[in-house]
Amino acid sequence: MTETRGQRAAFGGHRRIAAKARRGVNFTLRQIARPARREEVTALSFYPPVRTPAELADLVARINWYLPGVDVPVYVPGAAGLTVRPEDAPHMDPALVHTERLTATEPTGPGVRYVLHRTQPRTLLANLARLRRTTVADAYLSYTSEHGYRRLREALSSVPVPDPRTSVETLLQRRVEGGTVLVLGTGPSATELDDATIARADVRITCNSAVRNDGLIERLQPSAICFADPVFHFGPSTYAAAFRKDMLRAAESTGALLVIPANFLQLLLGHHAELQDRVVGLALEGDAWDWPTPDRPEVKPSGNVLTEMMMPVALALADTVLIAGCDGRQPHESYFWKHNPAVQYDPALMGAVFEAHPSFFQGRSYADYYEEHCRQLEDFCASAERRGKAVEGVTPSYIPALRERGAPPFP
């Protein structure tokens, strides 16, 4: 079987220097451009022209997902002569692969905002005059193309966003003074959690693909479900679509709050307005390991759902934190870490993420990520303990911070 570009990005030899160079180009183009402003933008025009049905299908899936509530005309040169079907972009959510949103007339005038979706030197040279009015949204150029689309969405979308303080007040309604909270990850030990440990908890929190396992969700009855990943949860791929379907079902069956980074609120609510009273957005603007309060509705960004979302939520809602299903990583592993097969998605869906977001994986060192995660978790636990909180590991783990706090070794 031929290895795809996405698979090479995820598991191949990571070209970190090339990845940094691409991010440098992206940063430079962002500095050249003026920010988009709603009162100034009359249309979006993507460039360069699309060449094949596959390229158009991939692009319109991103447009239809990332830009809810943006009602200006959207033009893609080259699209008029092409017909797209879901099969042309099998890695994308089929419901997003359509051209209904596109206008056939090329917009002109100073109000046109240009969007660079494929970067080549000759493309940049041919469009020098447009760079001041260009937003970069190239899936191969930046860490994730979501950033460019997010800037457009925040400037142009009419979808209302809840105030962060209101979100935190909604969250704190579930606080139990002096209580115990169970935090459940998606590692191999997640399904080894016993009923007695679940019964100890006044509040229960889980995350990510745990929503796939109906039996686990039924046993846990989570008070909150956290998810924060820009590609696995907030992207246009078939994986992200499957996750959101399971997330909605889990939230409906349990009444759980959905806790996400505040910068994704507009995106999620733009497609699921019914979640308005259930979603909690935490601003990734904190500079210390802390938990949110109405006066300080932010958390410290870390790039990991445990330290970025679950721990802050747990410490806000209770005083003793039990951590389960966070197994960590052995040195010989070739990915972030192992996941529990009972909560993991089909490998074909994982492949869809690699194809939709190659730059998210290219240039990343999984070993370095893990070492940083271990340091951050230790710092967070120690900081919480100094303020009277307690943290306990209750299932096997390789993570030093959890081993030191009671997590048993693996057999």
Domain boundaries, the chain: 5-156, 164-403
Q: Which two tokens stand for residue 103?
A: 């206008």
Among 155-169, 332-346, 361-375, the range with the most confident prediction by mean pLDDT is 155-169
Region 102-120 average pLDDT: 94
Contacts (Cβ under 8 Å, ≥6 apart) of 115: 44, 45, 46, 47, 134, 135, 136, 137, 148, 152
Pairwise CA distance, residues 284 & 164, whole Å: 11
Among 227, 206, 387, 367, which residue's Cα sits nearest to residue 308?
A: 227
The half-sphere exposure of 63 on its side-chain side, counting CA atoms within 13 A, is 25
My answer on whether omega of the bond before 48 falls inside 30° of 0, hence cis, is: yes
164-403 folds as: sialyltransferase cstii, chain A (3.90.1480)
Distances in whole angstroms, Cα of residue 113 to Cα of each of 284, 346, 347: 28, 39, 38
Among 74, 235, 71, which residue's Cα sits nearest to residue 157?
A: 71
Region 88-105 average pLDDT: 97
Tens digits of per-residue pLDDT, 16-66?
A: 555 565 666 667 777 767 888 999 999 999 999 999 999 999 999 999 999
Largest CA distance in the chain: 68
Q: Which two tokens stand for residue 341?
A: 């097969």
123 against 178, higher pLDDT: 178
Tens digits of per-residue pLDDT, 187-223?
A: 888 888 899 999 999 999 999 999 999 999 999 999 9
Cα-Cα end-to-end distance for the chain: 36
Q: Are 249 and 161 in contact (CB under 8 A)?
A: no
Pairwise CA distance, residues 6 & 393, whole Å: 35
Among 378, 372, 340, which residue's Cα sits nearest to residue 191?
A: 340
